[in-house]
Amino acid sequence: MSILSDITEALVDGNAPRVKQLTEQALAHHISPTDIVNTGLIKGMDIVGEKFRKMEISVPEVLISARAMHTALEILKPMLSEHKVEPRGVFMIGTVKGDIHDIGKNLVGMLMEGAGFEVIDLGVDIPPERFVEEVEKHDPDILGLSALLTVTMQEMKEVIEAMEKKGLRKKVKIMVGGAPVTQEFSDSIRADAYGEDARDAVEKALTLLGLN
């Protein structure tokens, strides 16, 4: 199983060519795609997420590791669908109306994907009605709302109220996050969870779905 630990190490180093090469080697040694994902890639992204949380690495370094993970997933995805590997859950995320910041949102999406979630990224400047429409369409387990501006934080409340009006609120867990967002604000708008940073968001998502 040393190939899998080598994959983990290469992923933490952000070495995409090495991750790709080792993934192909693992398949040649008849290691299952599921084991490669769970024991190699997800373990690696867990380490990356923990290092980021401890401020041992920066955002660009996380993104480099995430891209390395994607090189492996491109090889594995067709095989994973054949093996009918179920994701841990469906995580939908978007930046709220009036806010076009996406680095934090993208980081959360990448770490969620690394943790085994199917991620649906709606993009930025998303109005409440679009969140409602997409939740109705895709039925995610968790909806993540991102805001980087104090003035756009209130849009999170609008989204939650729109979900309530449509009768969708009990069907989806809502997580909020972003620089100006606090636990107190999350509680005040009756969100289900507050993600302090990308790594914390993954932990909270797993807790919400009873996977921790």
The per-residue pLDDT for range 162-207, each reduced to its tens digit, is 999 999 999 999 999 998 999 999 999 999 999 998 889 999 999 9
Whether the model pTM is above 0.95: no
Domain that holds residue 178: 90-208
Could you say which of 82, 108, 130 is where a domain stops? 82
Asked if residue 97 and residue 69 are part of one domain, the reply reads no
Asked if residue 173 and residue 137 are part of one domain, the reply reads yes
Asked if residue 121 and residue 52 are part of one domain, the reply reads no
**Burial class of residue 176 in the structure, from the number of CB atoms within 10 Å of its CB (0-12 exposed, 13-18 middle, 19+ buried):** buried
Asked if residue 193 and residue 147 are part of one domain, the reply reads yes
The per-residue pLDDT for range 55-104, each reduced to its tens digit, is 899 888 988 998 899 899 889 888 876 665 678 899 999 999 999 988 78
Q: Which two tokens stand for residue 138?
A: 């895709």
> Cβ(23)–Cβ(7) under 8 Å?
yes
Q: Long-range contact list for 29-32, CB < 8 A, 24+ apart? A: 29/3, 31/1, 31/3, 31/4, 32/83
Dihedrals phi, psi of 133, to nearest 5 degrees = -60, -45
**What CATH number has the domain bearing residue 9?**
1.10.1240.10
